[in-house]
Structure 1
Amino acid sequence: MSTTGRLLVTGAAGQLGRLVVAELAAAGWRVVAVDRRIPAALPDGVRPVVADIRRPDDLRQAMAGCEAVIHLAAHTNPGAGSGADVFAGNTAATFAVLAAAAEAGVRTAVLASSVSAYGMSYAPQLLPPRYVPVDEDHPLLPQDAYGLSKQADEHTGAMFTRRHAMSVVALRLHWVATAAQIHDRVAATAADPGFGAGPRELWGYVECRDAARAFRAALEVREGCHTVQVCAPDTLSPEPTRTLLERFHPGTAVRAALPGGTGLWSTDRARRLLGCAPAWTWREHQPQHPEAIHR
């Protein structure tokens, strides 16, 4: 696909959206950056559009002349509103964006999905994975409106592939964070491996620039509908991965050796389909005071 074409990004003013826009602009795309407010400090050549993606006319005007779309705009967790609002808002927005894309003749779409679709992140009780490393074939068992909305979004993408021969890639993102945020979480996890969502989310993460690069790479997929996990290759914990499993998920089937701090989320499909996988790890990019982590 030409990287001099026009491309629309929804949710362009968000933390990830700004990085995706910058990544695409640097690669030569003519980006239409859509959000309900104008993103600050846009790269040269990026056209900002203030629009409500729930309005068909707004989407139709913004999509004109585009050959690809990246859809990031969404409620990003179950606490962003009532369950009904989160589910309805996310699924309606995804359908509206893909419908406008199909009407405009767009044949390439990349969606922001989430590992929350597996159901572990927000389950009422700790829900062990069936097996590790978790791959894209693991059952999706959401128990919350957000995870369910992401599962539905993936099915919506598949429908548009069937009906319009649109190439759709749904990237199942893990926790997307800056290096500083990751190091803070590592320090907390070093003090307590059970900290926060660690055991639920299998201590996964992805550095935000790696996430942005995954969206650019996904634009090169030419046909079909695909789900792809986007996760770092290691865990957030200084403890060995096997030790974490024995403590928190002793009944989970282990399908790989998992030496050292190896991550529990497979990146095989990302490497095979996208030609790349997240590479940034906190272990290779230590903060100025590493004793804050290894204590």
Structure 2
Amino acid sequence: MAEVPRRVLVTGAAGRLGRATLGLLASMGVAATALDQRDPGGISGADRIVVGSAGDPETVRAALADVDAVAHLAAIPAPTLDTPEAVYCGNTRATFVVLEEAGRAGVTRAVVASSLSVLGLPWAARRLHPAYVPVDEALPLQIEDPYGLSKQADEATAAMMARRHGMTVVALRFPLLGGPGDKFADTAARYAVSPESGARELWTYLDSRDAALAGWQALTRPITGYHAIFVTAPTTLAPQPTEELLGRYHPGVERRSPLPGRTAPVDLAVAADLLGFAARHLYTP
């Protein structure tokens, strides 16, 4: 393992993944600074809370005091939650500012939240299909929306910052996140009745606790440079067999390996090899 960080800055700390990350850090005995646009109260696991924008250099500079690793999770998480300009410009500015200020401060490890949406499928105005399945980190992107584009730009920024500052930066491509009380069962029930509603997301999901674990491994595994990595649960939320779903909703797509049962159509080899990651909290219908 790489050296365990003494203090981690968590941006977007009040969000679902931010809270799960703070909880994991607390369980590891690692000090955390929480940064969020506002303090809604009830943020636990951080002994410092900084209120402000992750896109503001002065705010980020202050939040980086005594920090030696960064989990940048702040973002507008869908193109429907603000104007296209706000989604793209806000997300990309925050990622640039956080990583640039971290690099200037001498931080050498960072993880950033990317998304399966970087493929372009989830938010496109028309139904798109991947070039092949299982999808992997080399899959051609087909982005047509500002959120997916912001994630592509975030990944490019992360790669540049790794070169610019000699940092190790990992961009984790997350699917639908949730956890206890977050209604995975409702989504699974919807897929059972209307499986096409999950086709854009390839019916994938990940428990927020596992997403936090992947982030921890990205900060502590003995790797260097920049990496973009898919992390999902190994199974889908859909009750139907994956091969059947693909045949109906992504017909004609090249199959590069068998996908028996409810296997998620995502290649998780890089996550396993580089991070040692395997999801622990699986949804069972």
Matched residue, 2:99: 98
8 Å CA contact 1:175, 1:204 repeated in 2: yes
- Counterparts of 1:161-172 in structure 2, within 5 Å, are 161-172=162-173
Q: What amino acid maps onto 1:182 in structure 2?
A: F
Distance in 1, Cα, partners of 2:46 & 2:263: 40
Within a 5 Å distance, the mapping from 1:243-258 to structure 2 comes to 243-258=244-259
The amino acid of 1:193's aligned partner reads P
Q: 2:70 is aligned with what amino acid?
A: V
Q: Distance in 2 between matches of 1:44 and 1:121?
A: 33
- Cα RMSD, aligned residues only: 1.4
Match of 2:186 in 1: 184
Match for 1:6: what amino acid? Answer: R
Amino acid corresponding to residue 61 of structure 1 in structure 2: A
Is 1:209 the counterpart of 2:206? The answer is no
Q: Distance in 2 between matches of 1:186 and 1:179?
A: 14
Please report how far the alpha carbon of residue 39 of structure 1 lies from its aligned counterpart in structure 2 after TM superposition. 5.2
Displacement of 1:44 in angstroms is: 5.4
Q: Which residue of 2 aligns with 1:128?
A: 129
Identity of aligned residues (%): 45
Structure 1 window deviating more from structure 2 (52-61 vs 120-129): it is: 52-61
In 2, Cα distance between equivalents of 1:226 and 1:55:
26
Matches within 5 A, 1:104-143: 104-143=105-144
Does the CA-based 8 Å contact 2:53-2:59 persist in structure 1? yes
In structure 2, what is the Cα distance between the partners aligned to 1:245 and 1:282?
Answer: 20
Deviations 1:85-128 (A, max 9, x none): 11111111100001110111001010000010101111111101
Give 5+ residue unaligned stretches, structure 1.
Answer: 287-295
Query: Which residue does 1:175 correspond to in 2?
Result: 176
- Report the residue type matching 2:162 in the other structure: T
User: Quick check: 1:133–1:264 contact (8 Å CA) kept in 2?
Assistant: yes
| Alignment check: 8 A CA contact 1:12 1:39 kept | no
SS at match of 2:74: coil
- TM-score for the superposition, normalised by structure 1: 0.92
Residue 269 of structure 1 aligns to a residue whose secondary structure is helix
Partner of 1:9: 10
Asked if the contact 2:177/2:205 (under 8 Å) is kept, the reply is yes
Cα pair 1:136 1:227 within 8 Å, conserved: yes
1: distance between equivalents of 2:27 and 2:68? 17
1:35 aligns with 2:36: yes
Following the alignment from structure 1 to structure 2, what is the Cα–Cα distance between the partners of residues 225 and 275? 17
Q: Which of structure 1's runs of 4+ aligned residues deviate more than 4 A?
A: none
Unaligned runs of 5+ in 2: none
Offset from partner CA, 1:20-68 (integer Å, 9 cap, x none):
1111121121100111222533445632121222221111111021111
- Deviations 1:184-238 (Å, cap 9, x if unpaired)? 11111112212x3x11111111111111111111102441100011111111111
Distance 1:18 1:45, change over 3 A: closer
